A and B are shown apart, each in its own frame.
Chain A
Amino acid sequence: MARGDAEFVEFAKAASARLVHAAFLMTGDHHQAEDAAQTALVRTYASWSRVHDDDAYGYARRTLVNHLVDGWRRPMREYPTDEVPEQRRDDVADDVATRRWLITILGALSPRERAIVVLRYYFDLPEAQVARELAVSVGTVKSTSSRALEKLRTAAPRTADERARR
Chain B
Amino acid sequence: MSELERLRQAMRATERPDAVLDLDTVLRQGRRLRTRRRVAGAGAATLATGLAAVVVVAVGTSGPRDLAPTEHPPPVAVAPPSVGASPWAEKSPGSTPPPTAGRDEPPPKPLGQFVDSGVRHGADRRIYYFVPVSLPAAPKVTIGLAAGRQSPDGSLTTDLLVNDVEGADRRAGFHQIGYDESSSTAPVPTFGYFVGPAQQITGTVDGRQVHARLARWSLDKQVVIFWFEPAVLTPGDRLDGIIARDATGRRL
Contact = CB atoms under 8 A, between A and B. Distances in A.
Interface residues of B, number: 38
Nearest to A17: B19
Nearest to A159: B6
A135 B3 contact: no
Interface string B23-37: 101110111011001
A25 B30 contact: no
Contacts of A99: 10, 14
A59 B207 CA distance: 7
B202 A152 contact: no
A46 B238 CA distance: 12
Contacts of A37: 19, 21
B16 A17 contact: yes
Interface in A1-41: 5, 8-9, 12-13, 16-18, 20-21, 25, 34, 37-38, 40-41
Given A21-B15, A37-B21, A42-B29, A105 B207 contact: no
13 contacts: A17-B15, A18-B15, A20-B16, A20-B21, A38-B21, A38-B22, A42-B30, A44-B30, A47-B34, A66-B209, A102-B11, A118-B11, A122-B11
A9 B208 CA distance: 22
Interface string A82-119: 00010110000001001101100100000000000110
Contacts of B15: 17-18, 21
Nearest to B9: A98
A122 B15 CA distance: 10
A156 B3 contact: yes
A66 B207 CA distance: 6
B4 interface: yes
A112 B176 CA distance: 28
B18 A85 contact: yes
- Which of A43, A117, A149 is the most central at the interface, judged by chain B CB atoms within 10 Å of its CB? A43
B124 interface: no
Nearest to A40: B207
Contacts of A118: 11
B37 A121 contact: no
B30 A62 contact: no
Contacts of A149: 3-4
Given A45-B30, A46-B206, A62-B208, A95 B19 contact: no
A-B pairs with lowest CB-CB distance, top 3: A63-B207, A45-B30, A62-B207
B14 A21 contact: yes
